Amino acid sequence: MTMLLNQYKKPTRVHYKIFGLSWAGWVFDFYDLILFTFLIIPIGLELHLSNLLLSYALSASIIAAAFGGVIFGVLSDKYGRKSVLQLTIIVYSIGTLLCAFSTNLETLILFRIITGLGVGGEWATGQTYVNETFPSKVRGRFGALLQTGNPIGFILAALVGRLLAPVIGWREAFLISVIPAVLVIVIRRKIPESDLWIKNKKHTNKKAIKKSLLIKRNEFITLFLKPYRKIFIMALILAILGNSAYWFTYAWLPAYLQGNNISITKSALWIIVNQIGGIIGLISFGYVADRFGRKPAFSLFALAMAVGLMMITIFWDNIANYPPLIFIFLFLIGIGTGIYGGYGPLVSELFPTEIRNTAMGAGFNLARGTQFLTPILIALIAVQYGLGSGIFLGSIFALSVAIFIWTFPETKAINLEKLENPN
Domain assignment present for residue 260? The answer is yes
Residue 317 included in any domain: yes
Looking at residue 120, which CATH number applies to its domain? 1.20.1250.20
* C-alpha to C-alpha distance for 51 and 372, rounded to whole angstroms: 15
| Residues of the chain above pLDDT 90, percent | 32
Position 7 in a domain: no
Per the CB < 8 A criterion, the answer to whether 214 and 152 are in contact is no
> What gap in Å lies between CA 59 and CA 63, rounded to an integer?
6
Burial of 422 (0-12, 13-18, 19+ CB in 10 A): exposed
Mean pLDDT, residues 353-379 taken together: 81
Q: Is the pLDDT confidence value at 188 over 70?
A: no
**Contact between 255 and 271 (Cβ < 8 Å):** no
- Structural domain span for residue 99: 13-413
d(Cα 336, Cα 271) in Å, to the nearest integer? 14
- Pick the more confident residue, 253 or 239: 239
In a domain, 203, yes or no: yes
pLDDT tens column, 63-118? 888 888 888 988 888 888 888 888 888 899 899 999 999 999 999 999 999 999 99
Q: Domains in the chain: how many in total?
A: 1
Question: Is 32 within a domain?
Answer: yes
- Nearest Cα to 366, choosing from 194, 226, 257, 224? 224
- What DSSP state is assigned to residue 247? H
In 80-104, which residue ranges form alpha helices assigned H by DSSP? 81-99
d(CA 96, CA 33): 8
